[in-house]
Amino acid sequence: MLSGKRIVVTGGTGSLGKVLVRRLLSGELGRPSKIIVFSRDEAKQHTMRLAYQRRETATDEVIYHNFEELLQFQIGDIRDYHSVSAVLRNADVVFNAAALKQVPTCEYFPYEAVQTNISGAENIVRVIREHQLPVETVVGVSTDKACKPVNVMGMTKAIQERIIIRANLDCPNTRFICVRYGNVLASRGSVIPLFHYQIRRGGPVTVTTREMTRFLLSLEQAVDTIFAAVKYGERGETYIPRVPSARVVDVAEVLIGDRPIQTLISGIRPGEKVHEILVSEEEAYRTIERGDYYAILPMLPELRGTASLETPLTKEYSSADDVMSKPELAKLLGQNHLLVEDQPAFEDALVA
């Protein structure tokens, strides 16, 4: 599938990007000829490079043979057309994991989210179209917040999805597909590391509302979804994992366990939903089952065709539909080594 391919991972130093790179290097989809981590943070690239070279510290010599390595690092900004053009010129497959993804940050700095999440995706499409690059596949990484969005992060991701799917019309030799999923357990900036920190400090643990639910999946499941889309996705499709959901207050209580720690209801944050949606009611009629996943067929009739559909969904796919019990949630967190006892001291966690 990816044997001999030249792969670009934008945002490759992020939580998802690092797991994606590790899985690509494992060869489970074939051995690529080149994997390029494209991002603008030289410090994170340096740390990631040292990890793969199994070195604790180094000076500039680690970069000297960068372009000869299987895993290559390239500084650049998804917002800049010219740096995107430079990194894509020899690419076969592109995974766009670059994003501004924290909801409050995007609310306070909306145009920054526009530039990364919307203009960044448009730069990828524009470079492939204008230079007629022989890129085979582009995978856009999206979020459940793009489904009926109420916050800036979701709005910009929703537009990103449309830009990527529509690109199939302008670049007929490139397959543009998307993946959309919910909260990734313990990713940078997510709620579980915050809960760990609050618990180790003795509380209180802050929960927005008692009713709030979220889809939960591990970073490995997120990459599984990306790989499933690469293997089976048709042009213009959006892949959705079928994953469990939980009440956020139950996550907090399972992590607290029998510790004498208070749970504080802090109120919903700007731009948050009580429940998230992975497939909207309007999308349900063009959603099909594909193994352990749903695939949303493209809205544009030129891409979808006229074949009749047998959809498993009769309504929206919401995080409120099938909520895990606390024992089920404890098992999930334990399997992913996310219980507080498995974590480093909070001083170390803040640095990680």
User: To 5 degrees, how large is the angle CA 9–CA 13–CA 17?
Assistant: 50
Catalytic residue among 5, 101, 145, 157: 145
Is residue 294 within 8 A of residue 228, CB to CB? The reply is no
Cα separation, 94 vs 56, whole angstroms: 30
Residue labelled with tokens 């740390």? 47
Q: What is the pLDDT of residues 218-252, one digit of tens each?
A: 999 999 999 999 999 999 999 999 999 999 999 99
| Closest to 317 measured CA to CA, from 339, 298, 302, 295 | 295
Cα separation, 240 vs 176, whole angstroms: 15
Provide the CATH number for the domain around residue 258.
3.40.50.720
Within a domain: residue 290?
Answer: yes
pTM of the model: 0.91
Average pLDDT in the chain: 91
Q: What is the pLDDT of residues 175-220, one digit of tens each?
A: 999 999 998 887 777 788 899 999 999 999 999 999 999 999 999 9
Q: What is the mean pLDDT of residues 70-90?
A: 96
Confidence of residue 345 (pLDDT cuts 50, 70, 90): very low
Within a domain: residue 229?
Answer: yes
Residue labelled with tokens 């349900």? 284
Within a domain: residue 291?
Answer: yes
In this structure, which amino acid lies at residue 26? S
Supply the DSSP symbol for 118.
Answer: I
Number of residues that this document lists for the chain: 352
Within a domain: residue 156?
Answer: yes
Is residue 172 within 8 A of residue 161, CB to CB? The reply is no
Supply the DSSP symbol for 268.
Answer: P
Number of domains in the chain: 1
Cα separation, 94 vs 7, whole angstroms: 6
Within a domain: residue 20?
Answer: yes
Within a domain: residue 102?
Answer: yes
Helix (H, G, I), strand (E, B) or coil at 172: coil
| Count of other CB atoms within 10 angstroms of residue 209 | 15
Q: What are phi and psi of 305, to 5 degrees?
A: 80, -170
Within a domain: residue 1?
Answer: no
| H-helix or E-strand spanning residue 291 | none
Supply the DSSP symbol for 8.
Answer: E
Q: Which domain holds residue 88?
A: 6-351
Cα separation, 73 vs 244, whole angstroms: 35
* 231 among known catalytic residues: no
Confidence of residue 60 (pLDDT cuts 50, 70, 90): low
Residue labelled with tokens 């998802």? 16
Strand partners, 10: 38, 96
Q: What is the pLDDT of residues 146-183, one digit of tens each?
A: 999 999 999 999 999 999 999 999 999 999 999 999 98
